[in-house]
Amino acid sequence: AQSVTQLDSQVPVFEEAPVELRCNYSSSVSVYLFWYVQYPNQGLQLLLKYLSGSTLVESINGFEAEFNKSQTSFHLRKPSVHISDTAEYFCAVSEMGGSARQLTFGSGTQLTVLP
Amino acid sequence: ETGVTQSPTHLIKTRGQQVTLRCSSQSGHNTVSWYQQALGQGPQFIFQYYREEENGRGNFPPRFSGLQFPNYSSELNVNALELDDSALYLCASSLAGQDYYGYTFGSGTRLTVV
């Protein structure tokens, strides 16, 4: 079984400042790692994913996340945030090789970008 | 390419009633998963359907059941509703064998049980 811990439930940050949203996971097997974003009254949108290869993955809107196997972490970062980045962010894992690739989510981090 | 659509968007039911939620998967996807997202929490996996059969289930009681149709659309049925069933119910579709690329989620159905 897997579990995901998002260490901060709320992160307020000023516009154009850098931000890091922390995610740690626990699993007895290898996993795929994901970050999803949820805007108010909407479903989840995939932000980025780590499947294999380079441990640093990037999204098209400037976010990046680094897979650290030894620390079982997959922290999300952005060097300069915008007001439009205000949303709930969920870290999720999926077990490699499972017959049903269910996602196990963390409890979410509300990112609020202040003007 | 159409995304995942869910209906209805909002629903209010009384404790003890039954409810059916519907989901149309993204074009080309053949697997549907359902998640429950309680207020202030992350989504929790209910079950997944592939080839019209349940293909994995989370820690939910049997009163949560589902169907997948030949066109890959799906229903989630919940019997004997309880107050704790109040949540956002999310449907996600994927293509079997490629779902590690990520799921496409619908906007959800907000269920309120009173």
Look at the block and give the residue holding tokens 């690739």. A101
Question: How close A43 gets to chain B, by Cα (Å)?
Answer: 4
* Over residues B1-20, mean pLDDT: 93
- Of the candidates A14, A5, A6, the one whose C-alpha atom is nearest the C-alpha of residue A112 is A14
Contact: B42, A106; criterion CB under 8 Å: yes
Q: Is B55 on the interface with A (CB under 8 A)?
A: yes
Give chain B positions within 8 Å (CB) of A46.
102-104
Q: How far is CA B104 from the centre of its chain?
A: 12
- Chain B residue nearest residue A91, CA to CA: B42
What per-residue string of b and e applies to B8-21 under the rule 16 or more CB within 10 Å gives b? eeeeebeeeeebeb
Among B104, B105, B109, the residue to mutate for chain A (most A Cβ within 10 A): B105
Residues A69 and A25: their CA atoms lie apart, in Å, by 10
Supply the pLDDT for residue B7.
96
Give the pLDDT band (50/70/90) at residue A99.
low
Question: How close A52 gets to chain B, by Cα (Å)?
Answer: 11
Contact: B102, A43; criterion CB under 8 Å: no
* Over residues A20-45, mean pLDDT: 91
- Contact present, B42 and B28 (Cβ < 8 Å): no
Q: What is the tens place of the pLDDT at every residue in B30-82?
A: 899 999 999 989 999 999 998 899 988 999 999 999 999 998 899 999 999 99
Decide: helix, strand or coil at residue A107: coil
Residues B53 and B71: their CA atoms lie apart, in Å, by 13
